[in-house]
Chain A
């Protein structure tokens, strides 16, 4: 399985498009998902569960804060760091 950072962001984006968004809205990797009105906290909880499943990493709720987990870019950085430390 290829898990480069761009691959990770692509998968996360795909998940958001199919599971959180009811319509096609364009958003950038460096855009805050909350500020852009893309997802709310419930959507984020679903996204965290997806990341744990899809990349076999554990997102401990006490280790992530909103400021380092609110854009596709930041999320995929964290995931890719976790994967390389495995």
Chain B
């Protein structure tokens, strides 16, 4: 049996050493090479002091090297933490300090930003530069050990690395927007990740003939399916080149050229394909499976996509990063009205239920909060036991064995066939282009600005992107603030997808009778 995530690669490399594991642009790597180079990286990491459970940052643009890094880190018995390559250095330095990352795998084009992260008080023992060395990429600090690509590629590879780790150890930490104004780290163990991977492998029947896309960035949990289910199947993962999503035409060509059989992304990317990808003139006959997750897929666009790719199966997958995928729905017929397709039923390896405000299981027509329990659940949030206690609760009444249950905060209803339908959120978390965003995190950044007296951030529904973020600001002194200043202030502290697109200044914020900001009035 597979005990650890890296065993998936080791086994596939033994059985299919010459098959291609990963493709990126014109480069590719076979299973044998991926296994070998990740061994070398693991050896280098261990030689330089990496121990079981150490967190190691991956600060790389999407590339074959980022997949080598993931397996190298796992084989060293450590925990990988993927860092958003275009996030501002202030935010990344916070994440690095938060989970005390002391080893970073990166490439030369990131060195200027790493220098800035040191200015933010980041500490680092060792930096592995997998990129080409250039004269301007000397070590950012003398006290930091600098390891080159050459050192990795000349390290021993054919030895048995057996770090003493268990499958209940952490495999990765994925940081997501946090309502307290700081990103929070979701901790996932080998065991819980494998529970999801094994389910998905069975459910979607991947074989070594498949060519699966990798569209999501690595800090986004959709990538877990792309990487590990593909590698378990000895199939080929084709990474979508960075930036391609802005060019629906190029994205459609990518699917055609790479002969993708399994596609997985957020709906907003697929909507761009429907609207601007010129799919009528593309040969997408290779596609057998289109999976989407992360946000609601507006029915009119989904209907059109299905008519354009009639031979493929379409699945709506649902699950917060905290639970991996927990419900799924095969789209066989579209609802006749413009209602969204259901998020479906529980995956067979876990249990889900929804209860209303009076603690009753919901019936068709009523609305309740969705709870999940089972082996795919996270271990908690890094370093924030109080947040973990709020999210992971015991619900003896409805869970069979007094199991730990995750409160999703998602409101759902149920149809006559037992399929859940997503209705909305209980809090201020929103999705924009599939990214999960806590509006309070943006508000708390705005409150740091000395000239902001009061602020409220709301989501304005948008058909192509899900939501547009709008900030309404009451300035302290009315004439010195501008929306450029606010955008720039946010850009230095938040990832681009969280920077408000609309900024409005007002003299006061509308309040409800209880004195809370009336967000509904701000959306209009």
Asked if A33 CB lies within 8 Å of chain B CBs, one says yes
Contact code string A52-81 (vs B, CB < 8 Å = 1, else 0): 000000001111111101100000000000
Is the beta-carbon distance between B248 and A40 smaller than 8 angstroms?
no
Is the beta-carbon distance between B250 and A40 smaller than 8 angstroms?
no
Q: Which residues of A contact B493 (CB under 8 A)?
A: 22
Q: A42-B497, A62-B249, A62-B276 are in contact. Are A22 and B242 (CB under 8 A)?
A: no
Asked if A23 CB lies within 8 Å of chain B CBs, one says yes
Inter-chain CA distance A61–B272, complex, in Å, is: 9
Min C-beta distance of B148 to chain A, whole Å: 19
Chain A interface residue count, Cβ-Cβ cutoff 8 angstroms: 31
Asked if B51 CB lies within 8 Å of chain A CBs, one says no
Q: Which residues of B contact A65 (CB under 8 A)?
A: 247, 249-250, 253
Is the beta-carbon distance between A37 and B247 smaller than 8 angstroms?
no
Asked if B109 CB lies within 8 Å of chain A CBs, one says yes
Q: Which residues of B contact A22 (CB under 8 A)?
A: 88-90, 491-493
Asked if B415 CB lies within 8 Å of chain A CBs, one says no
Interface SS of chain B: helix
Of B110-118, B369-377, B510-518, which binds chain A? B110-118
Q: Which residues of A contact B496 (CB under 8 A)?
A: 20, 39-40, 42-43, 46
Q: Which residues of B contact A39 (CB under 8 A)?
A: 86, 243, 496
Is the beta-carbon distance between A44 and B243 smaller than 8 angstroms?
yes
Min C-beta distance of B63 to chain A, whole Å: 10
Category for how many chain B residues contact A: 35 or more
Asked if A21 CB lies within 8 Å of chain B CBs, one says yes
Q: Which residues of B contact A18 (CB under 8 A)?
A: 484, 487-488
* Cβ contact of A45, chosen from B90, B246, B249, B275, cutoff 8 A: B246
Contact code string B249-286 (vs A, CB < 8 Å = 1, else 0): 11001000000000000000000100111100000000
* Cβ contact of A42, chosen from B253, B278, B433, B487, cutoff 8 A: B433
Inter-chain CA distance A46–B85, complex, in Å, is: 18
Inter-chain CA distance A20–B496, complex, in Å, is: 7
Is the beta-carbon distance between B113 and A43 smaller than 8 angstroms?
no
Q: Which residues of A contact B484 (CB under 8 A)?
A: 18
Which chain B residues in 85-134 approach chain A with CB under 8 Å? 85-86, 88-90, 109-110, 112-113, 116
Asked if A7 CB lies within 8 Å of chain B CBs, one says no
Contact code string A27-46 (vs B, CB < 8 Å = 1, else 0): 00000011111011111111
Asked if B61 CB lies within 8 Å of chain A CBs, one says yes
Min C-beta distance of A36 to chain B, whole Å: 6
Is the beta-carbon distance between B241 and A37 smaller than 8 angstroms?
no
Show the binding face of A for B, using Cβ within 8 Å. 18-23, 25, 33-37, 39-46, 48, 60-67, 69-70
11 A–B pairs (Cβ distance < 8 Å), ordered by A:
A20-B491, A23-B113, A34-B241, A39-B86, A41-B243, A48-B246, A61-B249, A61-B276, A62-B248, A67-B250, A70-B243
Show the binding face of B for A, using Cβ within 8 Å. 61, 85-86, 88-90, 109-110, 112-113, 116, 241-250, 253, 272, 275-278, 433, 484, 487-488, 491-493, 496-497
Further contacts, 13 of them, CB under 8 A, given A25-B112, A44-B246: A18-B488, A22-B491, A23-B89, A23-B113, A35-B61, A35-B242, A37-B85, A39-B243, A41-B244, A41-B245, A42-B496, A44-B243, A48-B246
